[in-house]
Amino acid sequence: MASRGNWAETGVGAVVLIAAAGFLVYALSAGAVGRHGGGYEVKARFGQVGGLADGADVRLAGVKIGTVSHIRLDPKTFLAVVDLSLDPTIKLPADSTAKITSDNLLGGSHVAIAPGGATENLKPGGEIQNTQGAVDLFGLIGQVMRPQSGSGDPSASASGAPANTSGRAASVPAASY
């Protein structure tokens, strides 16, 4: 009796291990679009990459079509060069646009591709010319919270009237009834 229970537990354990191995193989193959010769490489240059990292998604119409394979700085232009590994079944028009967008407010970025209207396609090893870098969300919020005044005179008030700099309280005429 005890022997039959041990065999059942061993069989269930083996099935669980085989299923886990199958999920691992699927996850590695699905997540590596174009990493091991299955895709084609193109590059794009950005002025600001924000939180973009190697392995980030490349999406077209919200659908993952590739990954960011490498990010480096061009020492001559001081632009970030981003290598994109794309699905070989997706042929992008040569005038497509690449934009870095945020996944959510907590962080994470991906490259969003907007296809152009050119009749010729972007070739492997080519470069996406139209790019838009990441937007610094916290910097924009800071500008809205602390707008810079156009006047260089710190004694001018927000209403444009000169500030009282005499040190005495401003006199207010008494209302007559």
**Structure confidence at residue 154 (pLDDT):** 52
The pLDDT, as a whole number, for residue 51 is 82
* Model pLDDT, residue 44: 94
Say what percent of the chain tops pLDDT 90: 32
Q: 43 or 38: whose pLDDT is higher?
A: 43
With 0.75 as the threshold, say if the pTM is over it.
no
Cβ atoms 63, 103 nearer than 8 A: no
The span from the CA of 5 to the CA of 2, in Å, is: 5
Q: Taking residues 107-130, report their average pLDDT.
A: 89
In this predicted structure, the answer to whether residue 45 has a pLDDT above a threshold of 90 is yes
DSSP code, position 101: E
> What's the pLDDT score for residue 166?
47
CA dist 23 → 30, 31, 32, 46, 57 (Å): 10, 12, 14, 36, 20
Average pLDDT score over residue span 89-114: 87
| Rounded mean pLDDT, 137-152 | 73
Whether the pLDDT of residue 43 is over 60: the answer is yes
pLDDT more than 70, % of the chain: 74
Nearest to 54 by CA among 72, 36, 42, 37: 72
Q: How far apart are the first and last CA of the chain?
A: 108
Q: What is the dihedral of CA 104, 131, 96, 33, to 10 degrees?
A: -50
Would you kindly state where each structural domain of the chain is located, as residue ranges? Answer: 32-135
Query: What is the per-residue pLDDT for 27?
Result: 73
**pLDDT-based confidence at residue 86 (cuts at 50, 70, 90):** very high
Average pLDDT score, the chain: 79
- Write down the pLDDT at residue 132: 85
Q: What is the pLDDT of residues 57-79, one digit of tens each?
A: 999 998 999 999 999 999 999 99
